[in-house]
Every structure is written in structure tokens, then in C-alpha cells.
Amino acid sequence: MDNRFNKIFSSFDPLNKEFFPGSYLIDTFPSHFSFHPFNKYNNNNLEDCSHQLDNITITSLLNHSYALVISDAGIKNNVAISIAHIHICDKPIIKMIHHAVNITSTEAKLFAIRCGINQAVNLPGISKIVIITDLIHTVKRIFDLSIYSFQTHSASISKELRKFFLTNNNNSITFWECPSRCDWLLFKSVDRDTKQFQQTPLFPYKLSWNFSKKNECNNIIQN
């Protein structure tokens, strides 16, 4: 568990070189990543989704070059918790827990994905990373070309993936959506950790948080 990130972060980073024209991952490595969203309009897909994720897990755990990352985040009592579990063949699970009192649920989810990717790309012999999360549209923001909040996290993830793709032309990452109501075993385990985590914030007062965010916004506008 790490509390180093319990502080105000800059949200916008439009001048980062990862966002320069011609440097976007979607332009330079379009075939190295893919998304598999869940079709929420068909209830029968819940069972199919569970079977698909089971097959992905079996494939991942039988292959030494796969890293399976299951991430989740939530907010409880004004505390945001980001959790990522990493499974690798013949290696023990890597479990990361981070908490903060001054970030939104979207930022917490991006941060959990960022931590999982950061761990996976630095493991030797890994050529394919499989990310399983409950909000695929949040993940797609990493590859978004427009200016939006939380670009600092997106820039960091983009930088890590760029190095990963350049290491080997066969390296890739795929994102699968697992809705919480899917009742899939591995995601339930991560979700349970998120909900059971107990942490009393050092500065729980909403007024203090609003004041901090106001200062942050003022600084961004001034810059």
C-alpha cells in the first residue's frame, strides 16, 4: 500500500511531447492495442463475457509472455482506492493498493490502470499485456487526441506503452471490459478488496478539498 500519491495532481498536460502531432500511439502503433467492450444491451452476454474472460485467463496463465492485469477503483467515505492485481505464469500475484482523498473516481481508475501497466511493461519476457477493467471508456481516454482532464496520467501511460512497443514489434496490449454485475471470479476478488479497504483520511473535510481544488484550478489558469 502506498500513500505517496495522496496530494493534488496537475490534471492538464497538453504540452507533453506524447501529445505532439505525429506522436500519438493511435497514429504510430495502431495495430499494437485493441479494445473489447461489453454489450450492455444484451443480458445474455453476461454469461458469454464470463466465459470469454475465463478463456483469456487460462491462456494468460499458461503463457510465460502474458501479463494479466485486473484493476478496479472506487470511492468510499471520500477516500478513493485504486487496486490492481497482476497475474503472471509461475509467478506470485502482484497486488498494489493506493489511496487518496482528493481525486475523482475516473482519475482513480486511470491511476490503477497506470500502475498495472507500469509494473507489467517492466517485467522481463512479457510481450502481451491483458488489462481487465469495468470501464472501458475510461481506458480509451489514454488514446484520445483531444484535450481533457487527467492528461498527466494518460501521458505517463502513453510513454510506458511506447517504450514497450518499441522494444519488440510483436508486443501488444489488449483491454477487456468486465462489468461488475458479470460476477466474474477474479474481478470480484479485486472489487472486494476495493470495498473492504478501510482508511481514515487525514483531511476528510469537503471544504478543505474544495479549497485545494480551487487553488489547483487557479494555478492551471494562471499558467
pLDDT at 33: 92
CA dist 134 and 153 (Å) reads 18
Cα angle, residue 199 at apex, residues 205 and 180 outer, rounded to 5°: 105
Over the range 79-101, which residues count as b (16 or more CB within 10 Å of their CB) and which as e?
A: bbbbbbbbbbeeeeebebbbbbb
- Global pTM? 0.75
Stretch 93-98: mean pLDDT, rounded? 74
Contacts of 77 (CB under 8 A, 6+ apart): 201, 204
Using DSSP's 3-state secondary structure scheme, residue 195 falls into helix
Stretch 169-176: mean pLDDT, rounded? 94
Residue 173 pairs in a beta bridge with 33, 129
Tell me if 204 sits within 8 A of 101, measured CB to CB.
yes
Stretch 141-152: mean pLDDT, rounded? 68
Domains of the chain: 29-217 (3.30.420.10)
Range scoring the smallest mean pLDDT among 87-91, 95-99, 131-135? 95-99
